[in-house]
Structure 1
Amino acid sequence: MSITQNYKLNLIQWYPGHIAKAEKKLKEQLKRVDVVLEVRDARIPLATNHPQMTEWVGSKERVLVLNRVDMITPLARSLWTDWFKRQGEVPYFTNAQQGQGVIAVSKAAQAAGVEINKRRSDRGMLPRPVRAVVIGFPNVGKSALINRLLGKRVVESAARPGVTRSLRWVRISEQLELLDAPGVIPLKLEDQEAALKLAICDDIGEASYDNQLVASALADLLLYLEAVATDVLPKKPLETRYDLDPTTDTGEAYLHALAQHRYKGDVERTARQLLTDFRKGFLGTIPLELPPNV
């Protein structure tokens, strides 16, 4: 099912001038990096896979981190774990705000560096800390992860995307140094369905989009997932939250009905509230993507 079929194309636009500069600096720094920690949003692990990631990682070790595990159901986590393992990858699930899963990520990054220092030793060179970089879309929790790895707040972290604007090295321990990089979004995202999910989850950085269209798409997506994956979602998240049955409506119709029902007909306010409620977890633990062929 395509959630973009009812919406005009190029719905999401952004103006990432600072991201283009950051990407250039990132490419320069990547030459000095041993391990890439790729952070994605556990609610949308495919949409938060940057199309250039494979090119950036190259032959380096990569640790795949799926953050916000607290915002999806245990069954969704299990399905994604199995799917990634079938692709030959081990996902590390974290809740960086609370510190869940962070020690395992640190160990994985250091383990990747053991081989590097063995090669250095074989060439008669002294060991050095493993250099890792944290890369991902804006607002997926990279800075929160670094602060947890370090055990104190050294990197500015905020709920609004695009807070990290420059590259800096942070010494985590004698074994590990981390490069905190700004969120990177593609200069152009051809896949508007992925762009919609990024907008819904607030993972898109400096963007321009219509709240009402994005909220309608969220309602459509929830209705679709409720129909095809009942066991992976909380029961009737929209009806439970707003006391309004959405089953016969399109997302757009539901948004307008909800505006009349709760917000005096103010559709824009309703759209903002629906998106905020989803982003804060008030609709429950909801994955917006399921592994292909599940």
Structure 2
Amino acid sequence: MIIQWYPGHIAKAERNLKEQLKRVDVVLEVRDARIPIATRHPQVSEWVGNKAQVLVLNRMDMISSEVRKMWTEWFEGKGEVPYFTNAQLGDGVKNVAKAAQKAGHAVNQRRRDRGMLPRPVRAVVIGFPNVGKSALINRLLKKKVVESARRPGVTKQLRWVRISDEIELLDAPGVIPSRIKNEEDAIKLAICEDIGNAAYDNQQVAAKMIDFLTSLETDSNGVVSASCLKDRYQLQPYDYTGEGYLHEVANQIYQGDVERMARRILDDFRKGLLGKISLELPNN
């Protein structure tokens, strides 16, 4: 399976973003808490350089508290502080705002030291498509100012918005590598809808998701469980490959309509109807 997706507006946005980064003090990088490694853009560190960074892991409501603790310890072990949020409901957003203000404080201290007046801290929100950047900005603003939806590619242009007298935010379209080298990461992006649906085949991706869940259950000692599939579709997955399971439940539920079943499984996962499920774990 080859998954590649790099629409023209993303290429343009990336060029504009790199230009605007010269004006930015703080970078808020938003990732999907279900796949925080797969949603790490490999070039962000190069673009950001020495600027202050705040790592936001959005959709914390879609992973268990046990997995959240595991990721917190893992990132802190690497010298990073992850801020978990549910941008749809606003959970954790205040902590992100405080972190951005704190990170930008040094900028205005340097201005004061040079006899200049302080100015609002300039922050940018970057990350893959559909990880919740616009929803986060709306929560930071406490009103809907930028369009947000559960699909990639909604934000197409860069736009500055004033949060308060202290912070200005640059809302940027999702950026994604021009080529995704790791096929497993690409599949995870497709499962989580962090990549355009024209880039992949629903049946192949749904089958891979089932394979991921059964292998994660083994590797994680049950922290992630594939039993959610039995609970939802009344069929244990353990005796099947992902593809075999998909076809079997399609026969039982939709008279063999495999495409319809694949779409349902993916949609159930994306809406949280299968429960709190991570597709990545630290060191996995």
The reply to whether TM is greater than 0.5 is yes
8 Å contact 1:226–1:236 — kept in the other structure? Answer: no
Note the C-alpha offset of 1:206: 6.2
Equivalent residue runs for 1:176-255 within 5 Å: 176-205=167-196, 207-233=198-224, 236-255=227-246
Q: Distance in 1 between matches of 2:196 and 2:46?
A: 22
Indicate yes or no: 2:155 matched with 1:164. yes
- Match of residue 115, structure 2, among 99, 110, 124: 124
Q: How many residues of Structure 1 are paired with residues of Structure 2 in the alignment?
A: 284
Q: Using structure 1 for the length normalisation, give the TM-score.
A: 0.95
8 Å contact 1:259–1:265 — kept in the other structure? Answer: yes
User: For the structure 1 residues 204 and 108, does the alpha-carbon distance in structure 2 shift closer, same or farther, using more than 3 Å as the test?
Assistant: same
Structure 2: gaps of 5 or more residues: none
Indicate yes or no: 2:46 matched with 1:55. yes
Secondary structure of the residue that 2:23 maps to in structure 1?
A: coil
Match of 1:265 in 2: 256
Structure 1: gaps of 5 or more residues: 1-7
Q: Distance in 2 between matches of 1:207 and 1:175?
A: 40
CA deviation map 1:155-203 (0-9, x unaligned): 0001111100000101000100000000001111111110000000000
Match of 2:129 in 1: 138
Residue 176 of structure 1 aligns to which amino acid in structure 2?
Answer: I
Residue 119 of structure 2 aligns to which amino acid in structure 1?
Answer: R
Residue 59 of structure 2 aligns to which amino acid in structure 1?
Answer: R
- Match of residue 85, structure 2, among 94, 104, 107: 94
Secondary structure of the residue that 2:83 maps to in structure 1?
A: strand
Q: Using structure 2 for the length normalisation, give the TM-score.
A: 0.98
Moved beyond 3 Å, runs of 4+: none
Identity of aligned residues (%): 68
CA deviation map 1:185-233 (0-9, x unaligned): 1111111110000000000136411111000000100111122224423
Match of 1:3 in 2: none
Residue 82 of structure 2 aligns to which amino acid in structure 1?
Answer: P
Note the C-alpha offset of 1:263: 1.0
Equivalent residue runs for 1:35-54 within 5 Å: 35-54=26-45
Q: Distance in 2 between matches of 1:228 and 1:234?
A: 10
Secondary structure of the residue that 1:14 maps to in structure 2?
A: coil
CA deviation map 1:54-79 (0-9, x unaligned): 01110100000000000000000000
Residue 19 of structure 1 aligns to which amino acid in structure 2?
Answer: I
8 Å contact 1:67–1:93 — kept in the other structure? Answer: yes
Secondary structure of the residue that 2:277 maps to in structure 1?
A: coil
CA deviation map 1:27-86 (0-9, x unaligned): 110000000000000000000000111011101000000000000000000000000000
